[in-house]
Amino acid sequence: MAATSSCNFNWGVNGKGTPEQPCSSSKSSQILFSSNLSFCYSNIRYCLSLRSHQTLLSTRFNETKNSAFVVASAKADPLKIMISGAPASGKGTQCELITKKYGLVHIAAGDLLRAEIASGSENGKRAKEYMEKGQLVPNEIVVMMVKERLLLPDSQENGWLLDGYPRSLVQATALKEFGFQPDLFILLEVRILVAAGMLYYLVASHYLVNEEILVERVVGRRLDPVTGKIYHLKYSPPETEEIAARLTQRFDDTEEKVKLRLQTHHQNVEAVLLMYEDITLKVNGNVPKEDVFAQIDGALTKLHEDRKLI
């Protein structure tokens, strides 16, 4: 980057933000910038900004007599988070709390698929066939949907919270090949007791949740098409009769389909964890939602603070 100054600058900055090497006089000059670069020139005030490695660096040069110092600030890269869990494990509730505090863009793969189905497209028709059977939608459909949404400007600028995806090792691998790597993979764990055979889907917490309770949580869910708010006929009923009259049920929120989805989740979750084992946060999903969020919030706060120090 050429400059009109008569000095050549090429140095780093130490931990206190002061130059480690002085400048030297030169007829032609260049300024080499890195994420830690600063420079001084007496009696002149400069302002500039640049983007390096997707991090915006802003520097302000303050005038002093025969010396100058630099005040530098850096905007940390936005957070990239994935959250996974069995149907009715509480992902929607936690996503709402996370996005409210951290401003991340909430991207739910299920919502993307349901929107495609509602459009009546060929991909939507194919996706519905698989979803009605409780099976994973083919990757050539869903991976591209998720990829395109992650690439939109709001996701790139504010960071994203990917909800319920990836759901298989193949999907996780595809996202990695496209360059999407999360900073944290959150797994909401519930220990599901199946009435027939006393089998366990997950073994993380010290509490048991009967499979029928999870089924009840899903089957009782209702969507307000006007506001997009999710209600539950038993646990979170609508405020008025007017709202109640317009509520709808998702086509895949039936008892038969949710049991198939539970089985599919169990078959694939361990494989997905292999991809993200170094950045996985396992959260006990059997405790009250406030306690669940406290576990998540602590991890995200630390991650956010550590990012600001880099």
User: Does residue 261 carry a catalytic annotation?
Assistant: yes
DSSP calls for 104-140: PEEEEHHHHHHHHHHHT-HHHHHHHHHHHTTPPPPHH
Range name among 126-130, 194-198, 248-252 with the lowest pLDDT average: 194-198
Annotated catalytic residue, options 91, 222, 257, 259 = 91
- b (16+ CB within 10 A) / e for 176-205: eeeebebbbbbbbbbbbbbeeeeeebbebb
Model confidence at 186, pLDDT cuts 50, 70, 90, reads very high
Q: What is the mean pLDDT of residues 41-48?
A: 38
User: Does residue 45 carry a catalytic annotation?
Assistant: no
Residue 95: count other Cβ atoms within 10 Å of its Cβ: 21
Q: What is the mean pLDDT of residues 108-124?
A: 89
| H/E segment holding residue 58 | strand 55-63
Q: What is the pLDDT of residues 270-280, one digit of tens each?
A: 999 999 999 99
Model confidence at 105, pLDDT cuts 50, 70, 90, reads very high
Measured CA to CA, the distance from residue 260 to residue 222 in angstroms comes to 20
Cis peptide before 288 (omega within 30 of 0): no
Q: Is it the case that residue 9 has pLDDT exceeding 60? A: no
User: Does residue 307 carry a catalytic annotation?
Assistant: no
Task: For residue 259, give Cα distances in angstroms to 92, 197, 215, 231.
Answer: 19, 15, 7, 20
Annotated catalytic residue, options 126, 191, 250, 307 = 250
The pLDDT score that the predictor gives to residue 61 is 35
Q: Is it the case that residue 43 has pLDDT exceeding 80? A: no
- Where would I find the beta strands (DSSP E) of 128-250? 160-163, 184-189, 192-193, 209-210, 221-223, 230-232
Annotated catalytic residue, options 128, 167, 222, 257 = 167
All domains in the chain, ordered by first residue:
80-307 (3.40.50.300)
| H/E segment holding residue 177 | helix 169-177
Annotated catalytic residue, options 114, 149, 221, 257 = 221
Predicted TM-score (pTM) of the model is 0.66
Residue 262: count other Cβ atoms within 10 Å of its Cβ: 22
User: Does residue 126 carry a catalytic annotation?
Assistant: no
